Amino acid sequence: MSPASSLIRTRPDGTRVVALDPAKRVLFLTKDPELIKKQLSGELDLRMEDVDPESLLDDINTDVMTPAWVCFRHRPEDLALDAYAGLLDAAGERVFATRALLDGGFQVIVSGQRKGTGSSRETAPQAEKWCGIELVIAASFAPIHKRNNVNLGQVMGDYAQLERLQNGEEIPLAEFTAKLDPVTRAILEAGGLFPFAEKYAAGEIAIGGPDTGPRPMTMAEKLLASHLVGAEGDAHVKPGDLCLVKVDGGYSHEFTTAQVHHFLAQEYGADYRVQHPKKLAVFEDHLLYADGVEKMAPFADQIQTLRDLQNEFREHTGVRDYSARDGVSPGICHQVAREEFIDPGDFIQATDSHTCMGGGNNALAWGVGATEYAGLIHSGFTFVRVPESIRFELTGELGPGCTAKDVMLHILETYAVREDTLSRVMEFGGPGLASLSMDERATLTNMATECSARTGICEGDDLTASWIASRRPDLTPGDVRARFVAPDAGAHYDGGVHAIDLSAIEPMVARPSDPTLGARVAELEEIEIDIAYAGSCTAGKEHDLDYYARVLKDAVDSGRRVADGVKMYLQYGSAAVRDYAVAKGYDAIFAKAGVEVINPGCGACIGCGPGVSENADQVTVSAINRNFAGRSGPGKLYLASPLTVAASAIEGRIVRYEPGMFREPARV
């Protein structure tokens, strides 16, 4: 059960107000960890009027709030024990000890810009809530994290409101919810998604559909309009409209399914049912290799419990089963889903932030928390506030040393840091899109979540139709094409339309700690590496394997292999990708080059597999999508493209790939 609230009170006239409990405290997450420690120990209490917002910690990601090992616990009360375990000081020590937030007597937590970036894990706000946090203050919130707070009934506010509360004022709850759409407001005021659903089912809350008249629409708007519950004929929506929307499919994995199962049984009883199980799935991919990571050994029993509960859920519901067989997974959920069951025009929801990868298939897909996923698979629909869109018009073609990963690193350092992409759908189109393979398009949409966007979606074309049809025995290219969603001429983009000349893109990296810290490889100082990691959902696809093989074959043909002192790991994204690579003879190339090849699944990307750094001095260049501190071990991690990762493995330092570069002797 959710912890009781003392934040919201009801006046005699029926007005619900927010007021601080004088017996509880406010925690300011500052950029100075020593100030946080003093607050946790009780040495220091701060007031908003004395705090410079610029001194507050920005971009607190969900890995910091609940690192992977904390997420092995599926009960929220257990998560709370180690809330913020991933926040480290300059010496690499935990700022929050076990029970520090739980025992601190805090009611409010305060931070800076973009609270809750990164993974969609609902465990992060759960840990806060079950530690007694009832009011979350930040300058801005990442979209999935904000939605998770709403679904848990966590009130969110700003600095001015906190200052008034600390001065003893009671503020009407309506002031905190005034800018929210009617359903989001109703969910928050009801105390969360499940209490809201109960009131909605009882007829205590009525929600009307959008009344937007005919207008040109973006791809996201058209797709949502086509999924409105109860709509007849050609419906239209606009950003901000509140919609009750049918969900076509979704999935969860062993990191999240246990909570979904737990919540559904709590709310609807042990005999609960789900809608459309044949287009829902469970995957055993995220923790497959955790048993082989030394630091994960203490959590083996918890990990097995997650697996067992996922199996219970699968047997109970009859959803698609992508469990590992003889220790080998069918692949990473995002990759397998796009290969096997995400189709153009689909609306897909899943319990992982990289669900947006499905947008490469001309579908609308984004991640949600366990509470929201449990609710929507039970009902078959969900509430959506139509998001704004930003369009990227691609022209030209990428140069020989560049990939879609470089395009995304460019977008991250240019548009994401300005928050142009924040909470918006990133729409990709233009003549340059045709020059990118389906796998490269999936890279574009996969990393939309790194931009704190709602999702990404690509226009469909003949390549889309043939690629999907070749993987669906019951569909022809014509069938696929008939499902395409295209933007209307004259559609409005609140984030603007931005032209990107692919031929002008240069090989890039993101410096350690954040994907937005972009730099051109040509401008880097000398950076020697210890680990090169190739794979993940972002970079373990067929075309990515083509890139790795191209570079490594060049090296092998020139008598070169992975540099001494460097370990290169290559992990397939799915069984289909592995089979493709073997059929192409890539496995022989990888072996000759000295690469350690790993079967499909997640791994080093979430600190649960080979390729994780072992100490803070190690440097990794990786093709994954996130480089948050501690996510893939304690070392420094640079994000880069498959071409750059492979070339750097051969050279022993971060370099850009250029055809023929290995004909020269290795630099000593």
Residues in contact with 305: Cβ distance below 8 Å, sequence separation at least 6, in sequence order: 74, 258
Ranges 29-43, 113-127, 354-368, 419-433: which has the least confidence: 113-127
Sign of the torsion angle spanned by Cα atoms 443, 422, 356, 481: negative
Q: Kindly report the pTM of this predicted structure.
A: 0.86
| 122-154 tens-digit pLDDT | 999 999 999 999 999 999 998 889 989 999 999
CA 599 to chain CA centroid, Å, is: 23
Q: Say how many C-beta atoms besides its own lie within 10 A of residue 278's C-beta.
A: 10
* Ordered alpha helix ranges (H), 42-88: 62-65, 76-79
- Residue 82 near residue 94 (C-beta atoms within 8 A): no
| 496-535 tens-digit pLDDT | 999 999 999 999 999 999 999 999 999 999 999 999 999 9
Task: Average the pLDDT over 266-288 and give the result.
Answer: 93
Task: Average the pLDDT over 13-31 and give the result.
Answer: 96
Residue 184: predicted pLDDT: 87
Q: Say how many C-beta atoms besides its own lie within 10 A of residue 525's C-beta.
A: 6
* 47, pLDDT greater than 50: yes
Query: What is the Cα–Cα distance from 544 to 534, expressed in whole angstroms?
Result: 9
DSSP strands (E only) in 171-210: 171-172
Task: Average the pLDDT over 374-387 and give the result.
Answer: 93
Residue 407: predicted pLDDT: 98
Q: What is the mean pLDDT of the chain?
A: 94
* 608, pLDDT greater than 90: no
Domains of the chain: 8-201 (3.20.19.10), 217-505 (3.30.499.10), 510-663 (3.30.499.10)
Task: Give which of 554, 261, 299 is closest to 401, Cα–Cα.
Answer: 554
Ranges 456-470, 490-504, 653-667: which has the least confidence: 653-667
Ranges 57-71, 386-400, 455-469: which has the least confidence: 57-71
| 556-573 tens-digit pLDDT | 999 999 999 999 999 999
How much of the chain is in helix, strand and coil states, percent to nearest 5? 40, 20, 45
Residue 668: predicted pLDDT: 45
Query: What is the Cα–Cα distance from 428 to 451, expressed in whole angstroms?
Result: 14
Cα dihedral 191/196/197/200 (nearest 10) = 160
- Residue 257 near residue 313 (C-beta atoms within 8 A): yes
Task: Average the pLDDT over 216-233 and give the result.
Answer: 93
At CB < 8 A and 24+ separation, what contacts does 301-309 make?
Answer: 302/72, 302/73, 303/72, 303/254, 305/74, 305/258, 306/72, 306/74, 306/254, 306/255, 306/257, 306/258, 307/254, 309/74, 309/257, 309/258, 309/261, 309/262
| 481-494 tens-digit pLDDT | 999 999 999 999 99
Q: What are phi and psi of 288, to 5 degrees?
A: -60, -40
| 163-180 tens-digit pLDDT | 999 999 999 999 999 988
Q: What percent of the chain has pLDDT over 90?
A: 82
DSSP-derived secondary structure for 428-457: EESGGGGGS-HHHHHHHHHTTGGGT-SEEE
Residues in contact with 281: Cβ distance below 8 Å, sequence separation at least 6, in sequence order: 249, 250, 251, 252, 319, 320, 321, 322, 333, 337, 341
Residue 464: predicted pLDDT: 98
Residue 1: predicted pLDDT: 56
Task: Average the pLDDT over 272-281 and give the result.
Answer: 95
Task: Give which of 633, 584, 639 is closest to 403, Cα–Cα.
Answer: 639
SS in 3 state form for 231-279? CCCCCCCCCCCEEEEECCEEEEECCCHHHHHHHHHHHHCCCCCCCCHHH
Q: Say how many C-beta atoms besides its own lie within 10 A of residue 484's C-beta.
A: 15
| 284-311 tens-digit pLDDT | 998 888 777 777 778 889 989 999 999 9
Residue 594: predicted pLDDT: 98
Query: What is the Cα–Cα distance from 372 to 35, expressed in whole angstroms?
Result: 35
Residues in contact with 85: Cβ distance below 8 Å, sequence separation at least 6, in sequence order: 66, 67, 69, 70, 94, 96, 98
* 99, pLDDT greater than 60: yes
* 98, pLDDT greater than 60: yes
Residue 666: predicted pLDDT: 54
* Tokens of residue 497, six digits: 């339309």
* Tokens of residue 635, six digits: 């070392």
- Residue 64 near residue 84 (C-beta atoms within 8 A): yes
| 330-346 tens-digit pLDDT | 999 999 999 999 999 99
Residue 664: predicted pLDDT: 66
667 pLDDT band, cuts 50/70/90, is low
Q: Tell me the helices (H) and strands (E) count for the chain, helix number first.
A: 23, 25
Query: What is the Cα–Cα distance from 163 to 240, expressed in whole angstroms?
Result: 29
Task: Average the pLDDT over 86-90 and give the result.
Answer: 94
* Size (the chain), residues: 668
CA atoms within 13 A on the CB side of 581: 31
| 619-629 tens-digit pLDDT | 999 999 998 88
Higher pLDDT among residues 118 and 357, named by residue: 357
To the nearest 10 degrees (0 to 180), the angle between helices 438-446 and 333-340 is 130
